[in-house]
Chains A and B, each alone.
Chain A
């Protein structure tokens, strides 16, 4: 499903966040990207999500050359293909839980009634339907991350990208999110997971790739 070929990403000063990295992810797989800070994990996730472009190499997701997409096409690609979960949730604090979850569907111009049904289902499935009318600021970290996952799944994306999804959570909340990801993967969701958390990676991932200095670590 994902084909990253000889990708490099250099920033100002010629520092390489990724250095000629190649990687494939199959459909239904759950890949965990591990590595120390600055190893290039988040950069790789950004390239797959079309949030950033490689300096060299190609990134293909579901047959789409993501590295060649312009900003508008990349946005449409994300709507259709990608669900993103961030470490710090990135929920909009002035929208209710439901409105946050609905947002991807509304931006994509999906019919309102169908979207509401889908949002309700997701909130129910993720066990946060009682907070539907609440604002994110009132929820615990774990609950906020569940909302973020619900939002990521709103448009039924074939690929879920999660960047340190438990990084900002306490142990109990982290465990909740871990179980959620296991369940999603069990339902066939393709997941790429960036984490420092070896326990999470071991529990959820079907494969683990370790990055060091922008390259896949050998051994």
Chain B
């Protein structure tokens, strides 16, 4: 055993190599932990979160004017498990000091400690639970009010937000203490139920009916369907990142392990000469690869668990679930996977080392296996390239397996970057579509009233104002459509609303009353196609002449206001000015004519997009770093293997700059080919994942949002592989350049 220890210790004395091996393994295991978490979080996120919170299959509200607390409590016997009744109040809130902002209506439930109830164990995301009156915990949703904020209520009183929480069953928009709910003006009681048979609509309808007509109920099936919509949107994205991460990690760890053994071959030769048996060689090699690998794995687990906190928070926000806590089984799997990959890749190298004749093992340490890469070396020598460059370019061909591993590492890194950049571009274009009316006009005029209460005709005023180019008005309208349970969200327009610039997926923009364009969501909900006609109350037959992409997943219909006689919609007017018009002066003119007008401006990215962008940036940075470390490790191993040759080259006149250039150019082939191969891979993943995400969201994307890669961008990304590889080679190039010639010549 002591002989094995000698081999292992000797290898560990190579401090720089060991640090790089530990760092590369750590980074790869970090990526494995995060990729595992992504895959785990993407697998049935709603079901897992619902089970974790012991979610409510049925949430019932009983009006306190019609149902007493005891009557509400008595309904518990109808379910397998029930909790409540909890007092419910309705109130409007807004952050204190924002007098101009309207109150947001909230249904507030009084629960002493919702995290500990047997059903609907609400997860606290930040802050703490309400302990006393005057405190409120907000449900994480569209209305985000940070803990510490004081909110005003409609009755003039105030509450302090002390926490943010999420109920997977969506049982409330906010929680207060029961006493506070009573003080707000209790309107009813909430009961939460779980059933043994809750999997079908029929079963849930039967349970709802059994509670009687006094109960207003919400089934978990509806909540689940809404969640599935969000889940399907993001699963392809996270799955793609997870799989790329796992593949890259396996590649880097494998390369590190195999390289570690290969770099110790000469030492093994010496030990064999002194009597080490082949079996001892194999054991020594495995131990030697496993020790730094295991240290790296432990560090990687720690880093992965730390990074998992922001990552799982982002993922939970995307899925509308609660963040996964550190998952020991993912950590354990990552360690086991790392050990297996190390063992699997180190074992063949160890076996080779054990079988190598001692004399060959002694010789191998100095030079690469003879015969490999000679053609490349010959071709490079005959090229007109500067010699350090041609030496560097030919060098990796002496170790084709390492070259292949490096090439794949760069390819994965480039693919991840290509995918991420494409995804960000696509999402930006989707967001931009939503803001088309604002971005395609110069001025927006809001509906307003004259001081005497009459509604002016902004269209006429705009038309008469000098500087007006084109303009149109648009306003909201609920439009009933036969076959739809609820009215479609509609937009009615007057004037040439095609100027909004929405992209058409199919058909054309409407040109006359009686025609309409609709979103994909509308076609899906109604089962109609372009060219079909829809009917409904309040309007005549509507011919669907086009499918529009407006960036939303909603079921939306656009038509001319004249289609709906008698509708008085509050119009916003969008004006494109004639070239050379002074916008400030134009706005002043409109204001002087009693119109509320302002310059159009695009709103910032919405919350989901911000979360997506931050998640994508985090994962891309991680994967690119893993790839760069993989390259760094490979170049360190190569430089160590060739340090004697580097010494020879320096002894015959190679300067430090030329040495650094040679080492950096040694990753040129892998960088270039890896980059060129990684770009189409990332491109294909993007072209699969983005439409898959859109399908999950129930929208169809125009080609313009998917074809986001300009040729120059693709070329730049392909070259990014070269930059990534060069970045990974920079440190070892510096070391090689600084190595004293005499020291390098003495090194074996």
Contacts and interface: CB of A to CB of B under 8 A. Distances in A.
29 contacts: A46-B742, A49-B651, A51-B740, A52-B742, A71-B741, A72-B656, A75-B650, A75-B653, A75-B655, A75-B656, A76-B655, A78-B652, A78-B653, A80-B653, A86-B745, A90-B644, A92-B649, A93-B367, A93-B370, A94-B368, A94-B372, A94-B394, A95-B381, A96-B378, A103-B652, A106-B381, A107-B387, A107-B654, A151-B652
Contacts of A93: 367-368, 370
A106 B386 CA distance: 7
Contact of B651 (A78, A99, A135, A155): A78
Nearest to B738: A71
Interface in A54-90: 71-72, 74-76, 78-80, 84, 86, 90
A204 to B, nearest CB: 22
B665 to A, nearest CB: 14
A148 to B, nearest CB: 10
Given A46-B742, A99-B377, A94 B652 contact: no
Contact of A94 (B374, B388, B644, B737): B374
A92 B377 CA distance: 11
A96 B381 CA distance: 10
B648 A75 contact: no
A72 B657 contact: yes
Contacts of B373: 94
Contacts of A155: 653
Contacts of B374: 94, 135
B370 A137 contact: yes
A114 interface: no
A94 B655 contact: no
Contacts of B394: 94
Interface string A128-154: 000000010100000000000001100
Contacts of A72: 655-657
A13 interface: no
How would you classify the secondary structure of chain B's contact residues: helix, strand, loop or mixed?
helix
Contact of B658 (A90, A95, A104, A107): A107
Interface string B311-325: 000000000000000
A99 B378 contact: yes
A94 B373 CA distance: 7
A147 to B, nearest CB: 13
A107 B381 contact: no
Contacts of B384: 112
Number of chain B interface residues as a range: 35 or more
B645 interface: yes
Nearest to A138: B370
A219 interface: no
Nearest to B374: A94
B652 A104 contact: yes
A99 to B, nearest CB: 4
A52 B393 CA distance: 29
A74 B649 CA distance: 13
How would you classify the secondary structure of chain A's contact residues: helix, strand, loop or mixed?
helix
4 closest Cβ contacts across the A-B interface? A79-B653, A106-B387, A75-B655, A51-B742
A181 interface: no
A101 to B, nearest CB: 10
Contact of A109 (B372, B386, B649, B650): B386
A102 interface: yes
Contacts of B655: 71-72, 75-76
A151 B18 CA distance: 36
A84 B377 contact: no
A51 B649 CA distance: 12
A55 B655 CA distance: 22
A109 B652 CA distance: 13
A49 B652 CA distance: 10
Interface string B377-393: 11001001011100000
A211 B737 CA distance: 33
B398 interface: yes
A172 to B, nearest CB: 23
Contacts of A203: none
Number of chain A interface residues as a range: 35 or more
Contact of B653 (A76, A86, A135): A76
Contacts of A78: 651-653
Nearest to B366: A93
Nearest to B368: A94
A78 B367 CA distance: 24
Contacts of B657: 72
Contacts of B647: 90
A108 interface: yes
Contacts of B651: 49, 51, 78, 84, 90
Nearest to A52: B742
Contacts of A84: 651-652
Interface in A2-49: 46, 49
A42 to B, nearest CB: 9
Contacts of B742: 46, 51-52
B658 to A, nearest CB: 7
B740 A52 contact: yes
A107 B652 CA distance: 8
A105 B394 CA distance: 18
Given A52-B740, A76-B653, A102 B381 contact: yes
B649 A135 contact: no
Nearest to A108: B653
Contact of B652 (A79, A112, A135): A79
A109 B372 CA distance: 27
B649 A107 contact: yes
Contacts of A52: 740-742
Given A51-B740, A94-B373, A96-B378, 8 more contacts: A51-B741, A78-B653, A90-B647, A92-B367, A93-B370, A94-B370, A95-B381, A107-B387
Contacts of B741: 51-52, 71, 74
A84 B745 CA distance: 12
A40 to B, nearest CB: 13
A92 B654 CA distance: 14
A93 B648 CA distance: 12
B656 A51 contact: no
A71 B742 CA distance: 11
Contacts of B368: 93-94
A96 B653 CA distance: 19
Interface in A96-123: 96, 99, 102-104, 106-109, 112
A206 B43 CA distance: 84
